[in-house]
Chain A
């Protein structure tokens, strides 16, 4: 961690986005995580994504649970409201927040302990309800704040820093997200920002439950030989299926790519996801095939990354509930209270 305070002023020539904000405006407090922590790279990717998308930070609500990963919302989007909830319960708080105001963007940040162990139930139910959000798990396979216990995403056979071999089966959150009906599912690696930033941007714009599992090595407790969540292991076993460019609004597409290797996916709002296929046979619209693909590669010890599944016609919880377009938190007495005359009629019906 660093003890140096960030200067408040940005360089006068710093690039600004469409809103006139510099990247610095999207940052938060100085990280207190360990130097080299994968989570800091993810925070940086989140900052980059929101900056490039020109999102007003105050239109974002960032929520988290408990753990190293859940501390990170302090380190980005300093002008956004944040909520650090209780362990494993971010999804329910985010769901309630989303129902109260459908006009904000919801970013849930969690870890593998928070989402795969104590919060596995809430993880599952938020995804199956189709809450419009970006749910990021910063996955390092280990409990950092309590000093190195295995988490539920640790692979069977992987070794702890103290040399203990994990004998439990691991939980693959990507596999679960697919099964549970998330409409945008991706995996990335904290050490591969060129892959991660466009995925975050596409997920933010996705109007449904978007989930990104980011393998994020823990330099303090899980970056040794025998770990399957170390920098070296992930670099050696990263099976990239595709890479994205994300263009927020329909822009002229000029670059030439080898035919069949690139696909432009136009979203409902006019934004475009440009998909660069790395594995020609990988079809990100086939949920069942994606589950098989993940299983095959996991058996070989490979970590599949990229946009794993996309539903181009997502439906979110508000659509399912048929709520009004105005945020519920903006409704007043006139819209909420049925009034005296109705109450008189109710009284009459109860005599």
Chain B
């Protein structure tokens, strides 16, 4: 039997029982490898349950720095009897199965093309600990200790991490280190260590940081000046709102009085959440909500109101599998159309597509400037893959000289010097009118904000010309947005390729890897990563510069492709959809294989080598 052999390039998957305390042990495993300078990309795979049901943690170790999901499993740590069969089946031939051998398993439960590493974890644990909770928790630490030996992970690095975690709790620190040592010693004495899969110290991590997209986006909201947040709990966005509260408690309290420079409301539903955001923003505070697809559905009427009455608001949509309750704990990019055209009537909204936590922070902060400048809702389109997984990314950056762009605001001083004001007057021909905050001036600047049609002075009007003028101005404003939004990131080969690939958001890490796979398979491709809607003119240029354009996305209906066809007037035949929507993050293997298969079927060329990564 062959044995998989790889250094800094393999996938370990932990199959655990939810609520068994495995999360912190598994995170310790991933972070230890990071501290050895080797990039890792972990992903939580969990059903919609709290306790007792299956949960997985999949860690890709990639010395080359590929952060997308790879697919396949080289070492399975099978700690959940409920999912044993599917877990064992998932292991690559020649791969490894690590399991708790305290209770004997029938031979039929194994495969003969994989390597079995059985360790009596329960027995080791029970002989050391008497407390049942300790027996449960330390079992996880024991297997992490064993993995350090099996994969050649530096024990001192691991111990340092535990030391940081339990800095002020000496007793806990010692018992964790002891458990780790038990596992390591057993593995060293009973198995040939390391196995074919090994971690070797490297310097590929550099100064990069490791954090979840939701936490990064929330930090972006703090830096971007949001002082009001309203939300309703919904997976996978709840941790964004909760992170905002944690960050605010740390960084947003008056140093003298301890009073809050923020207000956070857990609302009664998503309608109230967006209503509060609109109320706060109308009144001059920067405000946001965090939600997911079902929440977006509920907010539709209010989003049309904010568009039509021109009230800035920021919506973080951490997308999950839809429609309906769908796959609440799985990732998708399937809210594009319901956000881009949210509401009844004719509307178009600004969407932003961060690729990772670093951009979730940057774009999360920039969204508030954009919303204020454009006086309209701005959607930050995250997804579960970015939001709820720790991802390696460049350090977060800020400039202390940066000022918030509050947009076109008529101040008391401007009224005092006699400036004229019409709430919906397009004075600068960019479609963006001036607004006033309530309470600005005793006699000037008050107006009635309404969802009904109005004239340029905010006066109720059902006159057709007033309506048309307003709707056309909103389109001009959307044109203006094109210049303000984050521009697409492009990748051009030299000479330019015939094939172009368009992608966005959490597909980026898998796409980066797929580009290289295609290249090494002899398929030259250019790439364009969309970072915002409305589409920059560069998107049109890219499409017209390539004979074949693939649009890679994580939904069933090719929603970005639809948007491109609809907004750029592209011939649908020009855009080929590459769609991955079964709930797990898209992989480079999938993308490369789809593209190659399409090319083979349309051009007949044999380019299959590109699929083998």
Q: Which residues of A contact B (CB under 8 A)?
A: 56-59, 61, 63, 73-74, 78-86, 89, 91-101, 103-104, 121-122, 124-125, 129, 318, 321-325, 328-329, 331-333, 335-340, 342-343, 346-347, 350-351
Could you tell me the distance in whole angstroms from the C-beta of B412 to the nearest C-beta in chain A?
10
10 pairs of residues in contact across A and B, judged by CB atoms under 8 Å: A57-B446, A59-B439, A74-B448, A95-B275, A321-B260, A324-B261, A333-B404, A343-B223, A347-B209, A347-B395
The answer to whether A93 and B223 touch across the interface, beta carbons within 8 angstroms, is no
Query: Are A328 and B263 neighbours in the complex by a CB distance under 8 Å?
Result: yes
User: Across the interface, do A101 and B438 meet the contact criterion of CB distance under 8 Å?
Assistant: yes
Residues of B near A321 (CB, < 8 A) are 260, 263-264
Of chain A, the residue at the smallest CB distance from B254 is: A324
Interface code B269-289, partner A: CB below 8 Å = 1, 0 otherwise? Answer: 101111111111111110100
Identify which of B208, B397, B398 gathers the most chain A CB atoms within 10 Å of its CB.
B398
B378 is an interface residue with CB less than 8 A from chain A: no
Q: Cβ of B613: which chain A residues have Cβ within 8 Å of it?
A: none
9 cross-chain pairs, A with B, having the tightest CB-CB distances, nearest first: A96-B279, A92-B275, A96-B276, A100-B285, A81-B438, A329-B284, A93-B279, A100-B283, A96-B280
Is A79's CB under 8 angstroms from B402's CB? Answer: no
Asked if B450 CB lies within 8 Å of chain A CBs, one says yes
Given A100-B284, A337-B223, the answer on whether A92 and B279 have CB atoms closer than 8 Å is yes
Nearest neighbor of B215 in chain A, beta-carbon distance = A350
Chain B residue nearest in CB terms to A82: B448
Looking at the complex, which one of B225, B230, B396 makes contact with A337 (CB distance below 8 Å)?
B225
Complex Cα distance, B279 from A122, in Å, reads: 14
> Please, which residue of chain B has its CB at the minimum distance from the CB of A321?
B263
Contact B282 A83 (CB under 8 A): yes
Q: Chain B nearest CB: distance from A32 CB in Å?
A: 9
When the two chains form the complex, which single residue of B227, B400, B446 contacts A80, counting CB atoms closer than 8 Å? B446
**Which of A83, A101, A343 meets B285, CB within 8 Å?**
A101
Q: Is the interface of A mostly helix, strand, loop or mixed?
A: helix
B129 interfacial by beta-carbon distance below 8 Å: no
CA distance A78 to B458 in the complex (A): 13
B251 touches A342 (CB 8 A): yes
Contacts A81-B449, A322-B260, A328-B262 known; 10 new A-B pairs at CB < 8 A: A59-B439, A61-B283, A73-B448, A74-B460, A95-B279, A99-B265, A100-B285, A104-B439, A124-B268, A333-B403
Indicate if B441 sits at the interface (CB-CB under 8 A).
yes
Chain A residues with CB under 8 A of B141: none
Please provide the chain B residues from 372 to 423 with a CB less than 8 Å away from any CB of chain A in the complex. 395-400, 402-404
Chain B 60-73, CB within 8 Å of chain A: the 1/0 string?
Answer: 00000000000000
- Restricting to B267-326, which residues have a CB under 8 Å from any CB of A? 267-269, 271-285, 287, 301-302, 305, 309
- Report if B259 contacts A (CB, 8 A): yes
Q: Nearest-CB distance from A115 to chain B (Å)?
A: 14
B446 touches A58 (CB 8 A): yes
B501 within 8 A of A: no
Return chain B residues, CB-CB under 8 Å to A337.
222-223, 225, 398, 402
| Closest CB in chain B relative to A76 CB, distance in Å | 12
Contacting residue for A125 out of B272, B305, B449, CB 8 A: B272
Task: Chain B residues near A79: list those with CB within 8 A.
Answer: 442-443, 446
CB of B84 closer than 8 Å to a CB of A: no
Q: Is the beta-carbon distance between A329 and B283 smaller than 8 angstroms?
A: yes
Q: B275 near A336 (CB under 8 angstroms)? A: no
Q: Say which residue of A89, A96, A322, A338 sits within 8 Å of B222 (CB atoms).
A: A338
Question: Is residue B140 within 8 Å, beta carbon to beta carbon, of the partner chain?
Answer: no
Q: A92 to B276, Cβ gap below 8 A?
A: yes
Shortest Cβ distance from residue B492 to the other chain A in the assembled complex, whole angstroms? 31
The answer to whether residues A121 and B227 also contact, given A321-B263, A329-B285, A329-B437 and a CB cut-off of 8 A, is: no
> Which residue on B lies nearest to A66, using beta carbons?
B451
Count residues of B near A (Cβ-Cβ below 8 Å).
Answer: 72
Also in contact, A56 and B442, with CB within 8 A (given A328-B261, A339-B398): yes
Is the CB of B219 closer than 8 A to any CB of chain A?
yes
- Complex Cα–Cα for A129 and B398 (A): 36
- Give complex CA distance A129, B396 in Å: 37
Which B residues are in CB contact (< 8 Å) with A336? 222, 225, 227, 252, 261, 404
| C-alpha spacing A78/B448, complex, angstroms | 9
Task: Answer whether A84 and B448 are a contact pair too, CB < 8 Å, given A324-B260, A325-B259.
Answer: yes
Q: Which B residues lie within 8 Å of A124 (CB)?
A: 268
- A-chain residues with CB within 8 Å of residue B228 when the two chains form the complex: 96, 99-100, 328
Query: Which of these, A97, A125, A323, contacts B259 with CB under 8 Å?
Result: A323
With an 8 A cutoff between CB atoms, is B124 at the interface? no
B440 CB within 8 Å of chain A: yes
Instruction: Contact check, B446 vs A328: say whether CB atoms are below 8 A apart.
Output: no
Minimum C-beta distance from B314 to chain A (A): 13
Give bound CA distance, A121 to B267, whole Å.
11
Q: Does B166 contact A (CB under 8 A)?
A: no
A97 contacts B439, CB within 8 Å? no
User: What is the chain A residue whose CB lies nearest that of B458?
Assistant: A82
Q: Is the CB of A86 within 8 A of B305?
A: yes
Q: Give chain A nearest CB distance to B402 CB in angstroms.
A: 7
In the complex, B211 has a CB within 8 A of chain A? yes
Contacts known (A81-B439, A101-B284, A331-B261); A340 close to B449, Cβ less than 8 A: no
Name the contact of B263 in the complex, choosing from A63, A82, A99, A103 (C-beta under 8 A). A99
Chain A nearest CB: distance from B213 CB in Å?
Answer: 13
Residue B8, interface by CB 8 Å:
no
* Alpha-carbon distance A121/B225, docked complex (angstroms): 30
Which residues of chain A are near B264, meaning CB under 8 Å? 321
In the assembled complex, B207 has its CB within 8 A of some CB on chain A: yes
Q: Does B57 touch A at the CB level, under 8 Å? A: no
- Measured CB to CB, the closest approach of chain B to A6, in angstroms, equals 15
B257 beta carbon closer than 8 Å to chain A: yes
**Contact partners of A322 in chain B: CB under 8 A:** 258-260
Q: Which of B228, B272, B402 has the most CB of A within 10 A?
A: B272
Q: Please, which residue of chain A has its CB at the minimum distance from the CB of B399? A: A340
Docked-complex contact B267 and A101, CB < 8 angstroms: no
Q: Is the CB of A83 within 8 A of B222?
A: no
Task: Decide: B283 and A351 in contact? CB cutoff 8 A.
Answer: no
Q: Is B493 an interface residue (CB 8 A)?
A: no
User: A335 near B261 (CB under 8 angstroms)?
Assistant: yes
Q: Which B residues are in CB contact (< 8 Å) with A331?
A: 225, 227, 261
Whether the pair A350, B280 counts as a contact (CB closer than 8 A) is no
Flag whether B436 is at the interface (Cβ < 8 A): yes
Chain A residues with Cβ under 8 A from B437's Cβ? 81, 101, 329
Q: Using Cβ atoms and an 8 Å threshold, which residues of chain A touch B535?
A: none
Closest-CB distance, B196 to chain A (whole angstroms): 29
Known A92-B272, A104-B439: A338·B251 in contact at CB below 8 Å: yes
**B451 surroundings in chain A (CB, below 8 A):** 84-86
B279 is contacted by which of A56, A74, A94, A338 (Cβ under 8 Å)? A94
Given A86-B451, A125-B268, A328-B228, CB of A99 within 8 Å of CB of B276: yes
Judge whether B128 is part of the interface by a CB distance below 8 angstroms: no
Q: Which residues of B contact A99 (CB under 8 A)?
A: 228, 263, 265, 276, 279-280, 285
Q: Is B452 in the interface zone, CB < 8 Å from A?
A: yes
Query: Does B533 interact with chain A (Cβ within 8 Å)?
Result: no
Q: Is B210 positioned at the interface, with any CB of A under 8 Å from its CB?
A: yes
B275 partner residues in chain A, CB cutoff 8 A: 85-86, 89, 91-93, 95-96, 122
Instruction: Select which of A80, A97, A324 is within 8 A of B283 by beta carbon.
Output: A97
Q: Which residues of B contact A74 (CB under 8 A)?
A: 448, 460
Interface residue B457 (Cβ < 8 Å from any Cβ of A)? no
| B447 adjacent to chain A (CB < 8 Å) | yes
Find chain B residues with CB under 8 A from A56 CB: 442
Q: Are A89 and B271 in touch, CB under 8 angstroms?
A: yes
Instruction: Please give the distance in Å from B264's CB to the nearest CB on chain A.
Output: 8
Whether the Cβ atoms of B446 and A343 lie closer than 8 Å is no
Do residues B276 and A93 form an inter-chain contact, with CB atoms below 8 A?
yes
Question: A61 CB to closest chain B CB, in angstroms?
Answer: 5
**With A61-B439, A92-B275, A122-B268 in contact, is A338–B301 under 8 Å at CB?**
no
Residues of A within 8 A of B230 (CB): 92, 96
Q: Note all chain A residues with C-beta closer than 8 A to B219.
A: 346
Residues of B with C-beta under 8 A to A325: 259
